[in-house]
Amino acid sequence: MARMAAHKIIIDTDPGQDDAVAILLALASPELDVLALTCVAGNVPLDLTTCNARKIAELAGRPDLPIYAGCDRPLARPLVTAEQVHGASGLDGPDLPEPSMPLAKGHGVDFIVDTVRREAPGTVTLVAIGPLTNVATALTRAPDISARLGRIVLMGGAHFAGGNVTPAAEFNIHVDPHAAKLVFACGAPLTVLPLDVTYKALVTPARTTAFRDIGTPVGTAVAALTDAPHRHNTEKFGAPGVPLHDPCTITYLLRPDLFRGRHINVEVETGSDLTLGMTVADWWGVTTRAPNATFLTEVDADALFSLLTERLARL
């Protein structure tokens, strides 16, 4: 029987502890062909996100993976970072060596444009798990790529869950709302994993123990990565665990059947100081605005964590 070709993806990322787990999950999954990581400023500045991405690739035994530096600041606003969640390094928790692999030559945005233009139409998925600056810059510079992209799968936004950096906004959208607005309007098929779904994918102490019990350097590192933000989250939000935001995107590519949501219209607020970066999701269909995003709100969390643990054990 002929083997199905692996699904080509580019991961646009700002590692970030949960970004790191998403990258490891993707690299552990034979169904996915990770063409490159493109880094963006977000959780921490660009010099740290590019360093962290390389640490993770080396941890996964993939020093050959192309990793590009992308945009170092949002389109129209100063950078807001999240060291209070991810630590000063962006990757607090595990003790990972400084990377020795070099960054790939060139700019991450050029890589996205060139790759989507070169590959067959509909075959490349862009997985965006940081602020959308690189993605929006690519779409603005090369509007033709929106019709060639297979899909954009992004972690960002919220509807029922409110926000995590302001009462109204989720971090990735809030950091670069102008970029997010361009992405939601670009016309490419869009799947959104907002806080509504990621708040249901909680790393509890038992799930961290399962990572540690893998007994490999990757298992130990992921246990440390997911343990570190635990205190922040329990103290601030009173949740029984840490939401594992970004790995929801990769899990969705592997097992879309684990998720539920609706195809609806989602617009991004860029004008109001009070609600800047809010994703205004027409969940109830009360406007005539055309649907532009599949907005997911439910996940089978036990199945997600079983899959994740099983895959991480392969690295």
Query: Which residues are marked as active site?
Result: 245
Give the residue among 255, 300, 3, 6 at the shortest CA–CA distance from 153. 255
What 3 state SS string does 207-236 have? HHHHHHCCCCHHHHHHHHHHHCCHHHHHHH
Tokens of 2: 């002929």
**Chain positions contacting ligand BDR, by CB under 6 A:** 16, 18-19, 43, 82, 85, 129-130, 155, 164, 170-172, 245-246
Cα separation, 53 vs 153, in Å, equals: 19
We find the least distance from the C-beta atom of residue 57 to Ca ion, in angstroms, to be: 16
Could you say which of ligand BDR, Ca ion, none residue 276 binds, taking C-beta under 5 to 8 angstroms by partner kind?
none
230 Cβ neighbours under 8 A, 6+ residues apart = 203, 205, 208, 241, 242
Token pair in block for residue 21: 């787990």
- Nearer to ligand BDR (CB atom), residue 18 or residue 227: 18
- 217 neighbors 59 (Cβ within 8 angstroms): yes
Using CB under 5 A, list all residues that contact Ca ion. 14, 16, 19, 129-130, 246
Task: Enter the tokens of residue 35.
Answer: 């063409």
CB of 172 to Ca ion, least distance (A): 6
DSSP-derived letter for residue 281 is: E
Token pair for residue 172?
A: 């990735």
Whether residue 211 contacts residue 94, with contact meaning beta carbons closer than 8 Å, is answered with no
**150: partner contacted, choices Ca ion, ligand BDR, none (Cβ within 5-8 A by kind):** none
Coil, strand, or helix at residue 69? strand
| Residue 85 interacting entry, from ligand BDR, Ca ion, none, C-beta within 5 to 8 Å by type | ligand BDR
State in angstroms the smallest separation of the CB of 170 from ligand BDR.
Answer: 5
Longest pairwise C-alpha distance within the chain: 57
**Shortest approach of ligand BDR to residue 144 CB, angstroms?**
28
Task: Decide if 12 contacts 139 (C-beta within 8 A).
Answer: no
183: part of which helix (H) or strand (E)?
Answer: helix 177-184
CB 241 within 8 A of CB 106: no
Instruction: Give 126 or 264: the residue with its C-beta nearer to Ca ion.
Output: 126
Q: Which of 14/282 has CB closer to Ca ion?
A: 14
Please identify the residue of the shown chain whose CB is closest to the bound ligand BDR.
171
Query: At closest approach, how far in Å is the CB of 125 from ligand BDR?
Result: 17
- Residue 171 binding result from ligand BDR, Ca ion, none, given CB thresholds of 5 to 8 Å by partner type: ligand BDR
Residue 279 contact among ligand BDR, Ca ion, none, beta carbon within 5 to 8 Å by kind: none
